[in-house]
Amino acid sequence: MSSAILSEDSIQVSARPRRWHILVFLLPAFIVYSAVMILPLIETLRLSLYNIVDGQSTFVGLANFKVLFGEERWAADFWRALKNNFIFFAIHMLVQNPLGIALAAMLSIPRLRLATFYRTAIFMPTILSFVIVGFIWKLILSPIWGITPFFMDLVGLKAFFSPWLGKPGSALIAVSLISVWQNVGIPMMLIYAALLNIPDEVIEAAECDGITGWSQFWKIKLPLVLPAIGMVSILTFVGNFNAFDLIYTVQGALAGPDGATDILGTLLYRTFFGFQLQLGDRSMGAAIATVMFLIILAGVSLYLFGIQRRVRRYQF
């Protein structure tokens, strides 16, 4: 595959002496990256096709995936985790990204006072670890401490309070919203930067044509920041399908209540590493990691070849 690229440059290269320094510059990064990242990734994909038969690691083809997708003990957990993961992603796309866009749009109003303060403050949760965020919200939503019921009482909604994190029906939504609270800074910043990059002439031209305020946002600015929104969406996708820490912290490795918040990351952890009575299973762990890899690869490819190329870019 690379032969075409090789022949292209080979004429110039052969004329020069060997340039060892290029190798010296590249080798450390290449070795660490290949040895710790790429080879384990390939090895994990390979392991997903093997399983222990009679104490020997044997090639079993797609048998692990058949078990994962179809065998009663595994399939229920797997499909639930996959479904939860899509819900988790959908909540981020529907709440986090529109909220991020709205905050960015307000922050980018020219000569807005205190903009730097708002920006710094709203981005702050993003730098905290999932562990801190998870525990803080666990305390705040806890019926024992009563912070949330107190605030709901202030607006007369106390009757609607319930321990959301502990109820199977609402736990996943609650956890997703905690994650949104933490991560909204990222879409906000990226879209804010894109909005600031719109040249003044474009905005002035719009104002000359009498397009201001809301219609300016919808008709001029939003189309111009679509590439940034695409970027934010794919970052959200990759982050969500590889999430683990927050759910592990808030709901534990079993992703309770009753597995209601189980996503692929927690399922991978339990399967591969084992938890309580469940023993770790390397082959099935590798199979789940492979499924996650394929989902992320599909999303990234869709973005790179489907969306990113079609989104119209404006050259200023």
Footprint of other proteins on 157-196 (CB under 8 A): 181, 189-190, 192-194, 196
114 binds other proteins (CB under 8 A): yes
> Nearest approach, Cβ of 33 to other proteins (angstroms)?
5
Q: Are 243 and 179 in contact (CB under 8 A)?
A: yes
Contact 196, 190 (CB under 8 A): no
**Smallest separation, CB 110 to other proteins (Å):** 6
- Considering the rule CB under 8 A, would residue 125 count as an interface residue with other proteins? yes
The CA distance from 179 to 136, in Å, is 12
Does residue 153 belong to the site contacting other proteins (CB under 8 A)? no
Pick between residue 10 and residue 278 the one whose CB is nearest to other proteins: 10
Among 52, 62, 90, 128, binds other proteins (CB under 8 A): 128
Residue closer to other proteins by CB (options 21, 310) is 21
Tokens representing residue 193 in the block: 């930067």
The answer to the question of residue 302 lying near other proteins (CB under 8 A) is: no
Is 32 buried (19+), middle (13-18) or exposed (0-12) by CB count in 10 A?
exposed
Minimum CB separation from other proteins for residue 306, in Å? 15
Task: Return d(Cα 202, Cα 216) in angstroms, integer.
Answer: 11
Q: Is 10 in the site for other proteins (CB under 8 A)?
A: yes
DSSP 47-98: HTTEEEETTEEEE-TTHHHHHHHHSHHHHHHHHHHHHHHHHHHHHIIIIIHH
Q: How far apart are CA 271 and CA 1, in angstroms?
A: 37
- Single residue of 62, 94, 132, 298 touching other proteins by CB under 8 A: 132
From its phi and psi, is residue 42 left (phi > 0), alpha (psi between -120 and 50) or beta?
A: alpha
Q: Of these, 63, 66, 93, 119, which contacts other proteins (CB under 8 A)?
A: 119
59-78 positions binding other proteins, by CB under 8 A: none
> Binding to other proteins by residue 236, rule CB under 8 A?
no
Binding test (CB under 8 A) with other proteins, winner from 53, 62, 90, 147: 147
The pattern of x and - marking residues 276 through 295 that bind other proteins according to CB under 8 A reads ------x--xx--x--xx--
Phi, psi (rounded to 5 degrees) for 278: -80, 130
Q: How far is the CB of 219 from other proteins (least distance, A)?
A: 15
Q: Which of 291, 215, 309 is nearest to 62 (CA)?
A: 291
Kindly state the number of chain residues that form the binding site for other proteins, as judged by CB under 8 A.
98
| Token pair in block for residue 310 | 């079609």
Sign of CA dihedral 30, 33, 39, 42: negative
Nearer to other proteins, 41 or 53 (CB): 41
Q: Contact with other proteins (CB under 8 A): which of 150, 218, 305, 314?
A: 150
Task: Give the C-alpha distances (Å, rounded to integers) separating 226 from 38, 173, 195.
Answer: 32, 27, 10
- The residue within the footprint of other proteins, chosen from 135, 218, 305, 314 (CB under 8 A), is 135
- C-beta closer to other proteins: residue 62 or 139: 139
Pairing of strands 50-53, 56-59: antiparallel
Region from 50-58, 76-84, 113-121, 156-164 binding other proteins, contact rule CB under 8 A: 113-121
Q: Does 272 bind other proteins (CB under 8 A)?
A: yes
The answer to whether the CB of 210 falls within 8 A of the CB of 161 is: no
